[in-house]
């Protein structure tokens, strides 16, 4: 009994000790914490404005009613060929596994092209043509897609066909609905040669 009474007395005294002192001391001690004070009064820095990246498809060269060329010296392999039609242009794309090698884009009065070293000719859809020739390149071991892309529904680019893959030269003949101005440029990631054709103005 004496032990139990002693324990109870200690508990009562401990509870009373916790309540001794002016109220609000705990909150006051927390608000005066050095960490909180320094965080509120420390210097604040704002990040400088960041210029957004240029959207793809902007700052493109102008269309020109002339032959074009470019590229870099080197050897490349074709990995893909694509055609598409947009409201403002029809597009032909050659994709490579390395930077675009030397190329020429030449306009023709007719969509008639020689087929490699054989000397035989092939006539594509449309009434005018463009010959895209790349050196030094190959596609016989790296491209397994179609080598004749026909789209009669496109306003300008009616047909694209492989006409040569011989001794480092690869050529694609393009049949056009009519003579058209051309916009040629290259892109990276992946490396591509892009040839756009301007539709007639209504």
What pLDDT does 59 receive? Answer: 84
First-to-last alpha carbon distance for the chain, in angstroms, is 110
Cis peptide, bond prior to residue 56, ω within 30 of zero: no
CA 200 – CA 202 distance, rounded (Å): 6
Considering the chain, what is the average pLDDT of its residues? 81
pTM: 0.71
Q: Which of 91, 71, 85, 89 is nearest to 170 (CA)?
A: 71
pLDDT at 189 over 90: yes
pLDDT more than 70, % of the chain: 71
Listed range (89-93, 135-139, 184-188) with the worst mean pLDDT:
135-139
Spacing of C-alpha 87 from chain mean position: 20
Q: What is the pLDDT of residues 30-60, one digit of tens each?
A: 444 444 444 455 556 555 555 554 445 568 9
The sign one gets for the Cα dihedral 115, 96, 108, 197 is: positive
Q: What is the pLDDT of residues 171-185, one digit of tens each?
A: 999 999 999 999 999
pLDDT at 188 over 70: yes
Q: What does the domain layout of the chain look like in residue ranges?
A: 68-197
Q: What is the CATH number of domain 68-197?
A: 2.60.40.3500
Q: Which of 103, 148, 111, 115 is nearest to 130 (CA)?
A: 111
pLDDT more than 90, % of the chain: 64
* Cβ pair 96, 192 in contact under 8 A: yes
> Mean pLDDT throughout 80-95?
97
Higher-confidence residue of 17 and 60: namely: 60
Q: What is the pLDDT of residues 103-140, one digit of tens each?
A: 999 999 999 999 987 889 999 999 999 999 999 998 88
Long-range CB contact pairs, 95-99, < 8 A, 24+: 95/190, 95/191, 95/192, 96/137, 96/190, 96/191, 96/192, 96/193, 97/142, 97/190, 97/191, 98/74, 98/191, 99/71, 99/72, 99/74, 99/186, 99/188, 99/191
- β-strands 112-114, 102-108 pairing: unpaired
What pLDDT does 185 receive? Answer: 97
pLDDT at 150 over 80: yes
> Mean pLDDT throughout 63-67?
95
What pLDDT does 51 receive? Answer: 53
Q: Which of 183, 185, 191, 194 is nearest to 100 (CA)?
A: 191
* Cβ pair 177, 156 in contact under 8 A: yes
What pLDDT does 133 receive? Answer: 97
> Mean pLDDT throughout 56-70?
87
């Amino acid at each position: 009994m004496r032990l139990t009474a002693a324990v109870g007395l200690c508990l009562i005294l401990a509870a009373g000790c916790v309540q001794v002192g002016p109220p609000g001391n705990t909150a006051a001690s927390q608000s005066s914490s050095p960490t909180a004070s320094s965080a509120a009064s420390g210097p604040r820095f704002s990040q400088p404005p960041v210029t957004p990246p240029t959207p793809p498809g902007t700052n493109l060269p102008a269309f020109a009613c002339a032959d074009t060329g470019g590229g870099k010296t080197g050897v490349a392999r074709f990995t893909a060929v694509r055609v598409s039609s947009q409201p403002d242009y029809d597009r032909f794309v050659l994709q490579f596994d390395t930077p675009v090698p030397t190329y020429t884009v030449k306009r023709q009065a007719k969509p008639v092209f020689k087929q490699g070293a054989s000397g035989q000719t092939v006539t594509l859809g449309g009434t005018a043509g463009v010959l895209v020739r790349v050196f030094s390149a190959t596609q016989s071991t790296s491209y397994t897609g179609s080598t004749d892309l026909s789209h009669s529904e496109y306003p300008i680019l009616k047909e694209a066909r492989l006409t040569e893959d011989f001794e480092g030269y690869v050529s694609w003949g393009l049949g056009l609905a009519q003579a058209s101005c051309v916009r040629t440029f290259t892109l990276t990631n992946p490396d591509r040669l892009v040839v756009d054709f301007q539709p007639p103005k209504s």
